[in-house]
Structure 1
Amino acid sequence: MLFKMIILIVSALFVTTMAENSELQIVQSNGLFTNKLYNILARKEGNVFFSPISAHAVLAMSYLGSAGSTEKAYVSSLGLPSLAATADGYEKVTSKLNNVPNVTLLIANKVYVNKGSTLKENFKNAVVNKFHSEVENVDFASASKTAGVINSWVEDKTRNKIKDIISPNDLNADTRLVLVNAIYFKGNWQNKFDKGATRTEPFYLNDKDTIDVQMMHINKKFNYKHDESLKAKVIELPYTNPEVSLVVILPDEKDGIKDLEKKLEKFDLTKITEGTWNTEVELALPKFKIETTIPLKDPLNEMGLGEIFDQSKANFSNLIEGQEPLYVSKVIQKAFIEVNEEGAEAAAATAVIIVTLSDHGTEYFLADHPFIFVLKYGPTILFEGKCVRPKSGDSNIAPTGKPVADPLAHDIHIKLED
């Protein structure tokens, strides 16, 4: 049997009251998941970009259909609370994310069920009432047609930024379920960059090699700090809704990205802006665009969630009526971000397939070498990435002076089978 999920990246939010403890647990779990996944993805050379909340949400939906040792694997590897708390927490998170003023932030879930299968009542109630998901019956045996239906839904929810999340080869007569989460963000800076100040400048790939990039410039007050423990500068760029922001973490040394990543391995990124103060900053930031497709099976296996892919151990007995053995064959995430003078646009999608079987004067922040960035809403991390070679759609020049083709992409795929 095949169970497939697609998730598009979105963000979560903060909570303060006892009644919202389940939401806080989801935010904290997502923060832990973000760190673990980034540390694995960052081992590869090149740019990194993904939506932790998108992948986390779709995995959380599949968690609700698990039992036995598989259920325990979700808890131990992802730090998820109880099944009930996970459902309640995501109900609050999803509602808040879809009601953020002054920016465009959308998160949506969808469950596609094979026409001959029936969701168990408890699972169906949870995904519909807690994850605000629609449920649609499809014929997975008609792979091309059904893949088109799913891909069209994803494209619509991500404003055509995420395409072809599902391949017809991912579906067949054994596919029983596809869970999809889509997230889309578009926001304008609270302080826009002047396009007339953007100019071609060098960006250091390491301590000596450079490429030419389109560097944006602005001199305004931002939340800023120099973190001695990280040996890095941190700046927060708010959007028109200041609760939503892009945080840039720039190592002091031009070749300091690896050292910074090591220091951040155990760092709670939801607290990265603590200790910043509002001060005048002369900021230079490159325009960049990153598109990724990332296979998540190996990273999830390394996190301790390998059992969901094991045909002999996976237990998804709370998903579908009947006794068919189900397991995850594939998890897929595609993500996109573009940062320019106006602001940023980002989207993501993830799929899981289960088959049977203060004022201190002007500071200077010159992002002319690799840096890490986080797009967040309150303490909820929506997206995280690493920019080691900016590409804006404009000229991209290699150290030799010759144009280079750099898609700045990664792929993430996860598939479930019986």
Structure 2
Amino acid sequence: MATILYTNFALFDGTGKEFVNNSWLLADTTTGRVIQTGTGEQPLADETIVLHGKYVMPAMVNSHVHIVNKVFPYAPKTPLEPFEYADQAFKNLNELFHSGVTYTRALGTAHDFDIGLQRLTEKGALNDTTKLIAAGRAFTTTGGHGSKAGQEVDGPEEMRKGVRERLKAGAGAIKYMASGGIAFAPKEQPWEFQMSEVEMRAGIIEAHKKGIKVAVHEQPLEGVKAALRARADSIEHAFEMDDEALELFHATGAYLTPTLIAPYVIIKRGDGILPQWMVDKSYTWVEKHFNSFGMAARDGVKIALGTDAGSPLNGFGDTALEAELMTIAGATNLQVLRAATQNSADLLDITADYGTLEVGKFANFMVLDANPLHDIKTLQTPNDIVHTGKIVTTPYHNDFADLYPLDRGHLGF
């Protein structure tokens, strides 16, 4: 066993409410796991690294990405060869990794390419980059949102069979595209309620038999409530909210993954670059989206952090930008830190190993220059990333984001 002792830092282990000063953490670099944490007297180790009063928190978990999509530079999507999908996926995983994300969940991938990446994760072949849980192709109604790359189903029997097929293929999650959206087609609108409650429930029952969770893309209010009544495990986006929807979140224990960044960057990076119909729809919905999430955060709904990375101009290095937007919309910094770590790990069913820096879990953490409970933007510029106990990267910088600064449009935030 080889050990590294990290010392002289403030620790947020993911379970408490504050950073604890003068902390230390002992890691086993053979297993990659935390042996012990504490304050005061320090244990002996093979190597000691002094962090000089910096701030340490668990590495983030991004619960919603589209892993094979190329984001920068912007260009209309074109079909790729299988090796090109694989190459882009690895680039995206590495971008997540070097920006502080230790695990992610792919929610809708053409041709089920992400299921192969999940198999690599399960075999231990992705130990040096971000690991992945895969949903394969998303389920959509005929001609519905995401139907070009998803699996079209109509009626509960088709949904039931489709989910069984996806589980047979090895999916670790199930994704429904149950409503319209912003970026799919000019005439499609987010208020479209495309998938019935009966259809959703049929597939959710099948997934839950195998212990697999279902994430539902829902943007209109009635769709959000229908998905919750059908026992969805997470609602992705939720552009509208009311008291009844909040009560359903609490009653079912479902997570809300707002992905505020998705319409936000269409405006702030894409106004004048992306198709005008896409920008116009974002303007129509972005404030409703922020207000909806703010209602949920203030009401104590369970929140996960996901970015929808792979959507237009929504980069894989922007997980921490989503964290900032969540605070702008009304979440506390503590809610966001928990959403980015423990909560998202719980949603992905990986809390045995990830999400907090407790003894026995992987020693994956971010070293920050400032306290993110006071300044959430510090997550965007980590000083170091530590993976399985070892420092693996210096500060991350997104060169493509420099080409697409957040300076377009006329939003007030």
TM-score, normalised relative to structure 2? 0.24
Structure having the larger proportion of residues in helix: 2
- Flag the structure with more relative contact order, 1 or 2, with Cα contacts below 8 A and sequence separation at least 6: 1
TM-score, normalised relative to structure 1? 0.24
Structure having the larger proportion of residues in strand: 1
